Amino acid sequence: MTPEETAKALGEQGISVLDELDPNGGPELASMIRSSFEEGNEQGNGYRLEALVKLEGEGAIDILCAVLEDTVEVGGIYSNLRNTALELIQGNFLGHPQLAASLWKAVEIDEYLNIDQLYAVARPYDAERAAALLVPAAEQGIPAAIRALAGEPALRPTLFAILERSLAGENPAVVVAALGDAAREPDIAAMLAPHADSIPAVAELNLDDADEARLRTLADKLSSNDPAWCVIAIRALQRLAPSEAFDRASPVFLADDRATPQGRARATAVTWALSSFAAPRDPRWPELLVAQLAVEDDLELRGSLVHAISAFGADFAPTVIGAARDAKDKYVLAAIPEALQAIGPDDGVLDLVRQAAVDATGKHKAALEETLEMFDEA
């Protein structure tokens, strides 16, 4: 492509053109890209900005300053393009003295800068001033700010104050999740530990290392109406012995609240999780699931039951094939192809599906024909 064509293509095809850009393309190409910025084309202008850094190195600092300061040189500035500039500075020009004034100008005029990148770029110039930007964002619960704050040992008192308020508030999960690996550091872990039985996000942190007694305690949370606790409980059940997992999980299908939204959601979650329960799974599951499918009226749960039944192999292919009651059984009809694919075409399953497809009609026939197509493509 000519320099003019390349500059135009950067705004239209983006990453593919950038990947093929010759870093030795020369001043003519750089000049053409500089003149090709378009009003309103944030993404295309972002690729053009990256191209100039690739071509010019430090020579592109003037255009980065223009973006940060909101001049008209690049056809209009927007937060996305300014954040692209921050990313390029972080990767190429961290601490460069020519960028300092423009960076602080950007802070004044744009409240939508990516706080983690902004902090990383600003810190080499003035650590205290950068922290002053980081802390308010962390106090608002912005995950990127919390992650950055957790990475600064000197700011631990501030982090602990935010964490303490969060643990006593209504939505601590966001802050705990944002901590990432820092949540396992001794001082933070010690602060979180007392909340392991009351806050699901804290309980999840050490689930992989939990002993059987702890797993049983968490598995009992399956009765909770809090979906987050149900997820934790299922993950605990997946780690218990197959017979114990069955004894603890199977009652959800006969629970007193079975007809409520929470009861249905609990039963659905168990059926979806069965494929990842400890193998070999308890042999009592298939009989229970097939019996439940025969009496279940909730359409969505019926679909997840079909998926769960498929985890037990070719012997249950006839059950899956004939699971749909009628054309309104939409979740079952949608589940049939994927469930049969999970079982696979061997052990006579392919012949069963072919024959059933011949005899079926309407949406049931379409589901079985889709299965055959999936088998052919495998």
Tens-place pLDDT, residues 199-247: 998 999 888 889 999 999 999 999 998 888 999 999 999 999 999 999 9
For residue 158, give the amino acid letter: T
Is 171 part of a structural domain of the chain? yes
Give the residue numbers spanning the domain of 335: 284-378
Domain boundary among 88, 114, 140: 114
Q: With the CA atoms of 121, 123, 125 and 129 taken in that order, what torsion angle do they form, in degrees rounded to the nearest 10?
A: 120
Rounded CA-CA distance 290/191 in Å is 46
Q: Which residue has the tokens 């025969």?
A: 294
Is 121 part of a structural domain of the chain? no
Is 265 part of a structural domain of the chain? no
Residue 350 has, within 13 A of its CA and on its CB side, a CA count of 10
Is 183 part of a structural domain of the chain? yes
Residue 76 has pLDDT above 70, yes or no: no
Give 254-265 pLDDT, tens digit per residue: 888 888 888 888
My answer on whether 51 and 2 are in the same domain is yes
Domain boundary among 205, 222, 249: 205
Is 119 part of a structural domain of the chain? no
My answer on whether 370 and 314 are in the same domain is yes
What's the whole-number average pLDDT of the chain? 90
pLDDT value for 91: 95
Domain boundary among 68, 86, 114: 114
Rounded CA-CA distance 375/237 in Å is 33
My answer on whether 376 and 302 are in the same domain is yes
| Residue 83's pLDDT band (cuts 50, 70, 90) | very high
Rounded CA-CA distance 196/189 in Å is 10
Across 181-195, average pLDDT:
91
Is 266 part of a structural domain of the chain? no
pLDDT value for 73: 61
Across 110-132, average pLDDT:
93
pLDDT value for 317: 96
My answer on whether 196 and 232 are in the same domain is no
Domain tally for the chain?
A: 4
| Residue 154's pLDDT band (cuts 50, 70, 90) | confident
